[in-house]
Amino acid sequence: MCSSLIPSIVAVDRGSEGRNPVSSHMEWQDTQGDIAVCQECIGRWKGLVIQPQQVGEIPDPPPIVKVLFVGMAPTNREGKNKGNHFYSAARDALRNGLFRLLGIPLDGLRLEEAISVFHRRGYFFVHAGKIRPVGQDAPPRDALMYCANRHLRIEINILNPVAICFLGVTNLALVTTALFDRQIDEIPVRVSLDRWTGWVALAFQPVRGGEKRTALVLEKLLSLVNGQDFIDKTI
C-alpha cells in the first residue's frame, strides 16, 4: 500500500475560464511539433545540447491540469538513463520520488499504468528545457532560461494549470525568475504569465534527502488548489 504524505486534490473546475478543449488540444499538438523541429538552442549552445524532445515523448495532458510539475530537461544520452526521462526511464528517480509523495503505487503497476493514475488525478509533468545536455547532468542555465521562455511559456498558457511546482532549486531558480519577473521559492505565490494566472512554487527535487522539503511545498500548493489556507511550516 502506498500512502500519500500530502493531501489529495478535491474537484477543481477550470472550465469556466473560457478555454475550448478542442482548440487547446490542437494548440498542444502544434507546440509539440514546434519543439521537435526547433534548433535554436542547439545552434546557440553548440556541442552543449542536442536532440530536442520529439513528438510523442510527452503524452497528451489530461483535460484539466490541477498541478503542473516542471522538471529540468531530458537526460544526457551518455548518462545512466540514456536520454530517457520522467515518462520513459524505467527508474527515473525524480518521478519515483514524486509518486511516493503523491501516494501513487510504484509496485504492481506498469510505468504506463502509474502515469495514467498520475494524469487521472489532474497532475501533469513537462520539462523546462526541451533539449538534452551533452556530457553533463543539465543543460547550461542560460539555455534552460532561453528554452523555457521559448516553449514552456506557451505550454503553461495552453495547459492552464491551477498551480505549478518547479522541481529543482539549483537549476530552475533562474528559470522561474526569468519567466515570472520575480523570485520564486518554496512559499507559493500567485502570479500571471501572459494569459495565465495561478499559483507557483519552487521545490527541491524529491530525491537524495529532499523529500520532506518537497512534501511541505506540495502540501501548501494543494491546500491552495483545494481553496484552503495553508500553515507556513517553514517559519
Here the CATH number for the domain that contains residue 70 is 3.40.470.10
Element (H, E) at 203: strand 196-203
Q: What domain range is 60 assigned to?
A: 42-225
In-domain check, residue 187: yes
User: In b/e form, how buried is each residue of 143-167, taking b as 16+ CB within 10 angstroms?
Assistant: bbbbbbebbbebbbbbbbbbbbbbb
In-domain check, residue 138: yes
pLDDT tens digits for range 77-91: 676 666 577 888 778
In-domain check, residue 194: yes
Please tell me the pTM assigned to this model.
Answer: 0.88
In-domain check, residue 19: no
List, in sequence order, the alpha helices (H) in the chain.
21-37, 40-44, 93-102, 111-120, 141-147, 153-159, 169-180, 211-225
What is the reported pLDDT for 1? 41
pLDDT tens digits for range 170-229: 999 999 999 999 999 999 999 999 999 999 999 999 998 889 999 999 999 999 998 855
Mean pLDDT across the stretch 55-72? Answer: 94
In-domain check, residue 6: no
In-domain check, residue 20: no
In-domain check, residue 22: no
Total tally of structural domains belonging to the chain: 1
In-domain check, residue 18: no
